[in-house]
Structure 1
Amino acid sequence: MQPITQAAIRKSFINASRSQTAAVNFPADFDEIDWENLDQFGWQDHKMPQRSYLVLPVENKIITILLRAPELVAASKRALCALCEDLVSEDDVYMFVAPKAGASGKNGNSVGTLIHSTFSCSDNVRAEVKPTVIHPDPELVKAERIRGLQERTLQFVQKVRS
């Protein structure tokens, strides 16, 4: 991803009102983000823990989605993140819900998906891969993981937009 400003993120929401975008609280380390190694950027709002945000580039534009985090998180079985499909990460995976864009969202319609609570998907798909007989080239495996993350995240965005 290219570096993004807070103002650009506020303007890029597809499923939030002006008052919701004005109330966004960015992470304290926002100015230190390594944008180059991110396919998407997500965070939990530290002042409103039920709100999270997911930012990604789509067709040379930035899109931001408002997400609602689960209210209560009980100890349960491990789940697979629908975006990165990482099997190794120890991060919790939660069901995040996004109001749909436009009139549908204003009518209360939403979509949900399982995402790592720390939004670590970009790191997960870039994790070291050991060569195997089936996959002798680790860089090809990483490239396929990155492509898959981008594709599945875009599919989620399309569900929010529809």
Structure 2
Amino acid sequence: MIALTESTVRSSFVNVSLRERRAIVVPADLAEREWERLDYLGWRDPKSPLLAFIVADIDGTPVGLQLRQAEQPTRTRPQCSWCSDVTLPNDVVFFAARRTGSAGKAGNTVGTLLCAGFQCSANVRRLDPPAYLGHDVRAARDRRVEALRAHVDGFFRDLMTA
């Protein structure tokens, strides 16, 4: 992912109003992030823990989405829809995002299960033990990274179509 600044992050949001965009609390540590190890930037609003934000590189342009976590927890231990990690050390929660354009203004949303702290990039880069003799763990990791990028891209494109 390309390095982002506060102004780039703030201007990237496509499913919020101008007032909501100005109110977004952008992470203060953007300069310290390891951008080459991130497939998207995700964080929660410290003032409103049910609000979350994600910025991803879509066709070379940063695109941001505001998400809202469901108030009711899931009944079972869910699997993240993006990283598909089955050995998660963290919680997975349901997030909904408002669609862009007239569909979003009409209240249409899209939901997905995601790692609560947006650790997907770290989860897919972990080298797992070999599944069988001759298993290429690095190639498996590379496939997980590509799958994560495809899931992120698909979610963003789905939200941006009317």
TM bucket (normalised to shorter chain) is: over 0.9
Equivalent pair of 1:96/1:114 in contact (CA under 8 Å)? yes
The aligned counterpart of 2:132 is 133
Gaps of 5+ in 2: none
Equivalent position SS for 2:156: helix
Kindly state the Cα deviation for residue 90 of structure 1 after the two structures are TM-superposed.
2.1
C-alpha deviations, 1:111-158, integer Å up to 9, x for none?
A: 100001000000000012222326621110011000000001111111
Equivalent position SS for 1:155: helix
Within a 5 Å distance, the mapping from 1:20-39 to structure 2 comes to 20-39=20-39
Equivalent position SS for 1:114: strand
The CA distance in 2 between the partners of 1:134 and 1:19, in whole Å, is 56
Q: In the superposition, relative to structure 1, how do residues 50 and 88 fare at CA in structure 2: closer, same or farther (>3 Å)?
A: same
TM-score for the superposition, normalised by structure 2: 0.93
Gaps of 5+ in 1: none
1:122 lines up with 2:121 in the alignment: yes
The aligned counterpart of 1:41 is 41
Q: In the superposition, relative to structure 1, how do residues 79 and 28 fare at CA in structure 2: closer, same or farther (>3 Å)?
A: same
- Two-structure CA RMSD over aligned residues (Å): 1.5
The CA distance in 2 between the partners of 1:11 and 1:26, in whole Å, is 11
Equivalent pair of 1:135/1:141 in contact (CA under 8 Å)? no
Equivalent position SS for 2:147: helix
Kindly state the Cα deviation for residue 101 of structure 1 after the two structures are TM-superposed.
0.4
The aligned counterpart of 2:79 is 80
Partner AA of 1:46 in structure 2:
P
Partner AA of 2:35 in structure 1:
W
TM-score for the superposition, normalised by structure 1: 0.93
Partner AA of 2:22 in structure 1:
A
Q: In the superposition, relative to structure 1, how do residues 155 and 66 fare at CA in structure 2: closer, same or farther (>3 Å)?
A: same
Equivalent pair of 2:4/2:30 in contact (CA under 8 Å)? no
Equivalent position SS for 1:85: coil
Over the matched positions of the two proteins, sequence identity in percent amounts to 33
The aligned counterpart of 1:91 is 90
Partner AA of 1:141 in structure 2:
A
